[in-house]
Amino acid sequence: MVACYQGFVDIVPLLQKCPYVNVNHQDNDGNTALMVAAQAGHITIVNYLLNYYPALEVDKRDFRGLTALMKAAVQGRKDCVTALLLAGADLQAVDHVKGKTARDWAAFTGRFETSVRIRSLLRRPRAEQFSSRYLPQWPALAELVAKALSPKSRGERLAEKIRSAFTFRIPHDPREDGVMDHMVRMTTCLASPFVATACQTICPDSPPEVGKRRLSVPEILKEYPADQEPEEETSSCSSAGGSSCDGQAVSEIRLMSTYRPVTGLRSFLPWRLLWRNSVFPGEQIPQIKLSKPSSPPARKERRHRSRDKNLLEPPKWRYKELKEEKRAAEEAAGGKKKKGKKKP
């Protein structure tokens, strides 16, 4: 959780190899490692957690009923929202305090770009270009070519010249299903020579889709120990007739954390006071205090490199040379004064 909070990308893959790490562990406020990474906006860590931690619960809730998707939407982390939705996060889940979904939280907190990203994902929920059946052809190309080759009257040509002369070119976002969108999908599809020569896709017949639970890489490669998998999940995977990459059957039996009512002294406090520490759990992160050493550290002797033509020498700065000359002159003057003060 500390590594996910601080964004230590190199630590999270190392902890994945430790068999004693519980990735779904919750702190005093119910935050998990995925929640902390998602609300902090560390998209690389979020993707690694989703792809390489088999026991990860995407829809785990904290004590207020907030999921990682809701926390990412509140903070406006649109890339993390996209990754969570394509990993099977529940967009219709509501929290226990406000009764809002992740989309409602994005609109409530004024995260306009996140709301637009969710709307565009719902409009096109399936990433077709990551399937082996996708053909990199632009459907609007034939219509545009026919329109450009069609004969035009004098009035239409004159109108085009006038329009081009008095049109101001203002930068704007690319249109959906336009040429820029087509170029991005064509260069990232599995049929692209750039992707085919760079990597090998594990699931060519199961592209990412909003709301579909995808198996992690250890589960696909069958490297996840069988004793850690639930029996229902194993039977559902074996009964599914599709590819081993398709985890749609797993999402039906996915465990959801139950809501824990607040008891004790905290039950008499208003919920606004209990809202503390929901975004960045700073109190649970150990604070490291630095203190100066009692004795100054010993200076290391500088090793003079042998002057070799094949080695690069560090640059000699003029201000450093002047500083060293001034220091040597002051030490020489100080030594002369001490000698003059001595009595015969």
| The 3-state secondary structure of 234-288, one letter per residue | HHHHHHCCCCCCECHHHHHCCCCCCCCCCCHHHHHCCHHHHCCCCCCCCCCCCCC
Verify that 245 and 262 share a domain, yes or no.
no
Q: Average pLDDT of 108-127? A: 92
Which pLDDT belongs to residue 244? Answer: 52
Q: Average pLDDT of 103-110? A: 93
Verify that 140 and 221 share a domain, yes or no.
no
Residue 299 falls within a domain, yes or no? Answer: no
Verify that 66 and 181 share a domain, yes or no.
no
The residue out of 262, 285, 308 marking a domain boundary is 285
Which pLDDT belongs to residue 132? Answer: 81
Kindly tell me if the per-residue pLDDT of 48 is higher than 80.
yes
Range of the domain at 201: 129-146+176-205
We report the CATH number of the domain holding residue 22 as: 1.25.40.20
Contact at 8 Å (CB) between 19 and 55?
A: no
Instruction: Please state the domain count of the chain.
Output: 3
Higher pLDDT, 173 or 310: 173
Average pLDDT, the chain: 77
Verify that 62 and 137 share a domain, yes or no.
no
Contact at 8 Å (CB) between 279 and 31?
A: no
Which pLDDT belongs to residue 14? Answer: 92
Higher pLDDT, 321 or 261: 321
Verify that 224 and 194 share a domain, yes or no.
no
Verify that 92 and 109 share a domain, yes or no.
yes
Dist CA 344 CA 342 (whole Å)? 7
Verify that 111 and 229 share a domain, yes or no.
no
| CA within 13 Å, CB half, 111 | 23
Which pLDDT belongs to residue 291? Answer: 66
Kindly tell me if the per-residue pLDDT of 46 is higher than 80.
yes
Percent of the chain scored above 90 by pLDDT? Answer: 32
Residue 8 falls within a domain, yes or no? Answer: yes
The residues with which 126 forms a beta bridge, in sequence order, are 209
Q: Average pLDDT of 15-36? A: 91
Strand, helix or coil for residue 30 = coil
Contact at 8 Å (CB) between 190 and 183?
A: no
**183-192 pLDDT, tens per residue?**
888 888 888 8
Contacts of 47 (CB under 8 A, 6+ apart): 83
Verify that 193 and 88 share a domain, yes or no.
no
Residue 24 falls within a domain, yes or no? Answer: yes
Dist CA 143 CA 146 (whole Å)? 5
Kindly tell me if the per-residue pLDDT of 276 is higher than 80.
no
Verify that 16 and 27 share a domain, yes or no.
yes
Residue 279 falls within a domain, yes or no? Answer: yes
Number of Cβ within 10 Å of residue 65's Cβ equals: 19
**221-237 pLDDT, tens per residue?**
887 765 454 444 433 33
Dist CA 33 CA 24 (whole Å)? 7
Verify that 182 and 241 share a domain, yes or no.
no
Residue 190 falls within a domain, yes or no? Answer: yes
Verify that 93 and 72 share a domain, yes or no.
yes
Q: Average pLDDT of 118-140? A: 86
Verify that 140 and 85 share a domain, yes or no.
no
Residue 274 falls within a domain, yes or no? Answer: yes
User: Tokens representing 1?
Assistant: 């959780």
Residue 111 falls within a domain, yes or no? Answer: yes
Which pLDDT belongs to residue 308? Answer: 59
Dist CA 62 CA 29 (whole Å)? 6
Which pLDDT belongs to residue 280? Answer: 45
Dist CA 202 CA 49 (whole Å)? 17
Residue 61 falls within a domain, yes or no? Answer: yes
Number of Cβ within 10 Å of residue 334's Cβ equals: 9
Which pLDDT belongs to residue 241? Answer: 37
Output the CA torsion 232→236→25→36 (10° steps): -160
